[in-house]
Amino acid sequence: MTSPGAAPATSTVSSSDESATIHSLNGTPTPRHVLRISDLDDATWRHVIDSAVIYKKAGMASKPIATGKSLGLVFLNPSLRTRTSMELAAQRLGAHVTTLTPGQDAWTIAFGDGVVMDGAEAEHVRDAFGVLSRYVDALGVRVFASGTDRERDVADAMINEIAASATVPVVNLESARNHPCQALADAAVLSDHFDGKTAGKRFVLTWTHHPNALPMAVPNSALLAAARLGMDVIVARPDSHSLEADVMNEATDLAGAHGGSVSTSTNMDAAIDGADVVYAKAWGGPMRYTDPEREKAIRASLTDWRVTRKQMSTTRNGRFMHCLPVRRNVVVDDAVLDGPQAMHLDQAEYRLHAQQALLEYVFDC
Ligand code: CP
């Protein structure tokens, strides 16, 4: 998937004797960016997941193979899990970490070609990430969807502009469309739970009510991860809250290639009945870009899209997943989150293990 403003087309490599810098078709060195899970080839994807499971089972031991390396983290949006787990994962590898939050302790960043910077933003993306690339060996960046500019959000324009501005690998810590670190942690927790036998398990990604029109990065990534694990994925959502067609098509192709399937349902109860996994996530419908008031009104009328203990009792002793943060008793009932089927804390822990494994790949160590 290449988006406008993306770095030149390239391919990823998994062999540790290859350089972390690989080359685009025109010969220009292109860093080993991880902007979406499709940036990892099958061998690397599997290696990161398997390594994460090994690290989880081995405990929190440090593995200082990246001593002398440095990681710059830039958060244009808030985070609890991603920031903490990324800092600690790098530290477990012996790397130095520096974290910036533009607008608080660093200059606010302007995006786009030819922008006249006479507004609030003090520094252009090209200069900010060009400079940071001179200081660190890799970058991790969080930049959420605008929520108002559909064309740029669908193109994942901001993370692609950042990657095109950097000369070191960029790890996407959640952009408009993708959250590959969450996808890797989710894949690892599923692989661990099913002892590697994820193919054919029924994975229900269910939309839920939420007071805000949230971005699509997590549902996209959960869908693609489950499809890549060969699961039988059902996307349960109201008609008003479809995912982008190209993501559904990509997931269908991925699932087909790995022995699984993708289907949709507008009936939450029926989709959850017999599920092995229920992954809850709220997202804003496409109408948020064209008629936000209407999207809000429809969303407000769908408060019964909330995962309950009764629904979970109809699963095949299924597990409940959520990326967190979660709105209790809006997205899912306390009884589910605090019950024996919940796996959301495992997901959060797996962020640390999966990102440790991912950083080994990114640092090429
Ligand atoms: N799941 C996740 O990315 O959490 P944070 O937003 O707290 O980083």
Q: 1 versus 327: which is more confidently predicted? A: 327
**Closest ligand 1 atom, residue 80 Cα:** 7
- Tell me what pLDDT residue 27 has: 55
The percentage of residues in the chain with a pLDDT greater than 90, rounded to a whole number, is 90
Q: How far is the CA of 218 from the centre of ligand 1 (A)?
A: 10
- Protein residue with its CA nearest to atom 6 in ligand 1: 79
- Ligand 1 pocket member 185 (CB < 6 A): no
Write down the domain spans for the chain. Answer: 8-178+349-363, 186-347
Phi first, then psi: give them for residue 286, nearest 5 degrees: -55, -25
Domain 186-347 sits in CATH 3.30.950.10: no
- Ligand 1 pocket member 182 (CB < 6 A): yes
- Tell me what pLDDT residue 28 has: 60
Strands 277-281 and 319-321: parallel
Q: How far is the CA of 30 from the centre of ligand 1 (A)?
A: 28
Closest CA to 129 of 121, 117, 141, 146: 141
Q: How far is the CA of 76 from the centre of ligand 1 (A)?
A: 13
Task: List all residues 6 or more positions away from 114 whose beta carbon is below 8 Å from its beta carbon.
Answer: none
Question: For 9-65, what is each residue's pLDDT tens digit?
Answer: 333 333 333 334 444 445 566 899 999 999 999 999 999 999 999 999 998 778 899
Q: Where are the alpha helices (DSSP H) in 194-342?
A: 217-228, 245-257, 268-272, 292-300, 309-313, 334-337
CB 153 within 8 A of CB 147: yes
- Ligand 1 pocket member 281 (CB < 6 A): no
Give the pLDDT band (50/70/90) at residue 321. very high
Instruction: Report the residue among 76, 82, 346 best suited for mutation to probe ligand 1: largest number of ligand atoms under 8 A from its CB.
Output: 82
- Ligand 1 pocket member 82 (CB < 6 A): yes
Superfamily of domain 8-178+349-363: Aspartate/ornithine carbamoyltransferase (3.40.50.1370)
- Ligand 1 pocket member 81 (CB < 6 A): yes
Query: If you average pLDDT over residues 238-244, what whole number do you get?
Result: 98
Question: For 268-290, what is each residue's pLDDT tens digit?
Answer: 999 999 999 999 999 999 999 99
pLDDT beyond 90 at 76? yes
Joined tokens for residue 152: 């740029």
Q: How far is the CA of 287 from the centre of ligand 1 (A)?
A: 25
pTM flag (> 0.95): no
- Tell me what pLDDT residue 62 has: 81
Phi first, then psi: give them for residue 53, nearest 5 degrees: -65, -40
- Tell me what pLDDT residue 26 has: 52
pLDDT beyond 80 at 241? yes
pLDDT beyond 90 at 2? no
CB 299 within 8 A of CB 271: no
Question: For 115-169, what is each residue's pLDDT tens digit?
Answer: 999 999 999 999 999 999 999 999 999 999 999 999 999 999 999 999 999 999 9
Could you check whether 8-178+349-363 and 186-347 share the same CATH topology?
A: yes
**Closest ligand 1 atom, residue 83 Cα:** 8
According to DSSP, the residues that pair with 29 across neighbouring strands are: 23
Region of residue 265 (left: phi > 0; alpha: psi -120 to 50; beta: else): beta
Give the pLDDT band (50/70/90) at residue 94. very high
Task: List all residues 6 or more positions away from 54 whose beta carbon is below 8 Å from its beta carbon.
Answer: none
